[in-house]
Amino acid sequence: MYPDDLKYSKEHEWVRMNGNIAEVGVTVFAQESLGDVVFVDLPEVGTDIEQFAKFGEIESVKAVSDLFSPVGGKIVEVNSEATDNPESVNTEPYGIGWLIKIELSDTAQLDGLMDAATYEATLD
Amino acid sequence: MLGVIGVDSLDGLLGDIPVEHRHPSLNLAPGLSEQELSSVFGAIAAENASSSNGYISFLGAGAYSHYIPSTVRAILQRGEFVTAYTPYQPEAAQGTLQVGFEFQTIICQLTGMEVANAGMYDGPTAFAEACLMAARVTKRNRIGVLSTTDDRLPDTLRAYSKYQGIEIVSIAPDATEIPDDLACIGIQSPNFFGQIEDVERLTDLAHANGALSIVHVNPTALGMFKAPGEFDVDIVTADGQPLGVPMAFGGPYVGLFACKKAHIRQMPGRIIGRTTDTKGRTGYALTLQTREQHIRRERATSNICTSTQLIGLMVTVYAATLGKQGMKDLANLCYQKAHYAASEINQLAGFSVSGKGTFFHEFVVTCAGDPARINAALLQRKIIGGLDISERSDNGMLVCVTETSSKADIDRLVAALSEIGVTA
């Protein structure tokens, strides 16, 4: 449910590092709470984002939630699969349902995030 | 029940109100029977100057006299529609929702736009909300409004946007340049003076500067003039009153609102969608509700609440009764009669019809004297003259002619003006 190789924010986003690039998405808990995702509003490539700042919105049939970036930097890629087929966020939140990729401005920011066990404990 | 809550008398419930104010004497006259009451109000109503006691009217400026077919009243008065609540429970509101869906469809057909909502409060608020929507879409906070609009459009926008850091910029209709940081250009066509604006040119100008094009129309005119959608306009608004809604001293009306599908998530108001239920049957439901305040709260696209669906029903029945050909015929009647009136008035000594462009059914007459005095003289002849717009146009009177005026009525107006003009 909460892969060990990822880091987590308290706003229910996850980060997968690949060199200096952070792949970001929402956790299983987030997509379950939202229900069927029908729309994802993501920023443009090239946008600078600060850690924990809002970068977009995710909409289900019954709710809208802000998306907060777990790390800061420059957005280098935005997942069109998530915008074209929002249900992918429900079916594969850690896979093809990823949302954005950020070029990290400061790797020390990762220390401000939780590991899988710590994150899962906060969900109770 | 008093015993259950521990109060020993009805007066006990009023304990917080000082004794001397608890049962004030109201000085009301004794009650009347229904028959007597009818008589009293009937006498008051008879003092109104209206077509039912021999007056003819040439007054428009936002509320228009059109013939309302009996089909509208017949369906409007059905208890199923009159008593229906806002359709948040689709399983209990299919009738209301279907009418609303057809309403939206008709608006799209009339305006040439891709999507429409289920109605706003009225024209001016629809226009104001369109401007706010443009601000959200473009992320700009300066709103351009053409100087030829009815003042109530920017006034309503001002009221809506007062604490939102929005600046309203007046744009001349013949402007060839606009600031490059406007969210939109808001155009009214026909404008306040009855003239058709160059919507195509202004829309191109807006787009060239990254701004949206908003056009506020008269829906009756759409039976004759090109639909705004054909000019790549972004948002179309209007007051639905001319389509089967009585003037009724200013309301209730319904605002029409349509836009490009690309902007649908920023559109305010309720939107009705057509879908299928679990058994595959066609059904209707409110959709895209995540724009609305019961989900998005302070970040909603609007704080609109009260539904004008019943007025929307009147518009829907009216449009369905007239049909496409009827709308064309109606527009043509209004156009022809207004142009006849304008031509006759223009020939009167001391009166001239200003405005060089194309008009639909309203035009400005520059009068032989103070329009207020001319209107008073007209009223004595049981004629309601056009709107006194001398504040915006010297000795100007905005005259409107619809299909409800016969040739004889128009000739009567012209003859009266001729008499009055000589002595004014």
> Does A118 fall in a domain?
no
> Does A94 fall in a domain?
yes
A65 in contact with B, Cβ within 8 Å: no
List, in sequence order, every residue forming a beta bridge with B285; answer none if it has no partner. Answer: B273
Q: What percent of chain B is predicted at pLDDT more than 90?
A: 83
Q: Hunting for tokens 């809604």 — which residue is that?
A: B245
pLDDT at B388: 98
The answer, yes or no, to whether residue B423 has pLDDT greater than 80, is no
The alpha carbon of B53 is separated from its chain's Cα centroid by a whole number of angstroms, namely 26
> Does A28 fall in a domain?
yes
The answer, yes or no, to whether residue B78 has pLDDT greater than 90, is yes
* For residues B67-96, average pLDDT: 94
A39 in contact with B, Cβ within 8 Å: yes
**Contacts with B383 (C-beta within 8 Å, 6 or more apart), sequence order:** B55, B56, B57, B58, B412, B413, B416
pLDDT at A61: 81
The alpha carbon of B197 is separated from its chain's Cα centroid by a whole number of angstroms, namely 19
CATH of the domain at A87: 2.40.50.100
Please, what is the average pLDDT of chain A?
A: 93
> Across the interface, do A64 and B296 touch by the CB < 8 Å criterion?
yes
CB-CB contact of A120 with A1 (8 Å): yes
Tell me the two tokens of residue A48.
């600078």
pLDDT at A35: 93
For residue B2, name the pLDDT band (cuts at 50, 70, 90). confident
List, in sequence order, every residue forming a beta bridge with B57; answer none if it has no partner. Answer: B384
Q: Quote the number of domains for chain A.
A: 1
The answer, yes or no, to whether residue B424 has pLDDT greater than 70, is no
Residue B262 C-alpha, separation from nearest chain A C-alpha, in angstroms: 13
For residue B59, name the pLDDT band (cuts at 50, 70, 90). very high
Instruction: List, for residues B318-337, the tens digit of each pLDDT value.
Output: 999 999 999 999 999 999 99
The better pLDDT of the pair A61, B385 is held by B385
* For residues B136-146, average pLDDT: 96
Instruction: List, for residues B337-368, the tens digit of each pLDDT value.
Output: 999 999 999 999 999 998 789 999 999 999 98
pLDDT at B282: 96
The residue among B191, B238, B246 whose CA lies nearest residue B218 is B238
| Residue to test with chain A: of B263, B275, B290, most A Cβ within 10 A | B290
Q: Is B119 left (phi over 0), alpha (psi -120 to 50) or beta?
A: left
Instruction: List, for residues B173-192, the tens digit of each pLDDT value.
Output: 999 999 999 999 999 999 99
The residue among B401, B394, B389, B397 whose CA lies nearest residue B420 is B397
Instruction: List, for residues A101-115, the tens digit of each pLDDT value.
Output: 999 989 899 999 999
The answer, yes or no, to whether residue A124 has pLDDT greater than 80, is no
Structural domain boundaries, residue A58: 11-106
In order of A21, B41, B255, the CA distances from A79 in angstroms are 14, 68, 38
* For residues A79-94, average pLDDT: 95
CB-CB contact of B179 with B142 (8 Å): yes
A92 in contact with B, Cβ within 8 Å: no
Task: Give the phi and the psi of residue B229 in degrees, each rounded to 5.
Answer: -55, -30
Cα separation, B109 vs B114, in Å, equals 9
The residue among A33, A42, A24, A38 whose CA lies nearest residue A97 is A24
Cα separation, B104 vs B257, in Å, equals 9
Cα separation, B290 vs A59, in Å, equals 7
pLDDT at B399: 98
CB-CB contact of B256 with B219 (8 Å): yes
Query: Which residues does chain B have within 8 Å of residue A63's beta carbon, measured at their own beta carbons?
Result: 290, 295
> Does A113 fall in a domain?
no
> Across the interface, do A62 and B295 touch by the CB < 8 Å criterion?
yes
Please, what is the average pLDDT of chain B?
A: 95
Q: Name the burial class of residue A117, with classes exposed (0-12), middle (13-18) and buried (19+) by CB atoms within 10 angstroms of its CB.
A: exposed
Query: Which residues does chain B have within 8 Å of residue A60's beta carbon, measured at their own beta carbons?
Result: 290
| Residue to test with chain B: of A59, A62, A83, most B Cβ within 10 A | A59
List, in sequence order, every residue forming a beta bridge with A26; answer none if it has no partner. Answer: A13
Cα separation, A55 vs A41, in Å, equals 9
CB-CB contact of B399 with B341 (8 Å): yes
**Structural Rg of chain B based on CA atoms:** 25
Instruction: List, for residues B85-98, the tens digit of each pLDDT value.
Output: 889 899 999 999 99
> Does A49 fall in a domain?
yes
Domains annotated for chain B, with CATH where assigned, are: 51-68+323-423 (3.90.1150.10), 71-317 (3.40.640.10)
> Does A25 fall in a domain?
yes
In order of A123, B41, B69, B269, the CA distances from B293 in angstroms are 28, 41, 37, 10
> Does A76 fall in a domain?
yes
> Does A2 fall in a domain?
no
* For residues B36-56, average pLDDT: 91
Instruction: List, for residues A1-55, the tens digit of each pLDDT value.
Output: 899 999 999 999 999 999 999 999 999 999 999 999 999 999 999 999 999 999 9
CB-CB contact of B382 with B413 (8 Å): no
Q: Is A63 left (phi over 0), alpha (psi -120 to 50) or beta?
A: beta
Q: What percent of chain B is predicted at pLDDT more than 70?
A: 99
Q: Residues in chain B whose beta carbon is closer than 8 A to a beta carbon of chain A?
A: 265, 290, 295-296, 299
A57 in contact with B, Cβ within 8 Å: no
Query: Which residues does chain A have within 8 Å of residue B295's beta carbon, measured at their own beta carbons?
Result: 62-64
> Across the interface, do B295 and A64 touch by the CB < 8 Å criterion?
yes
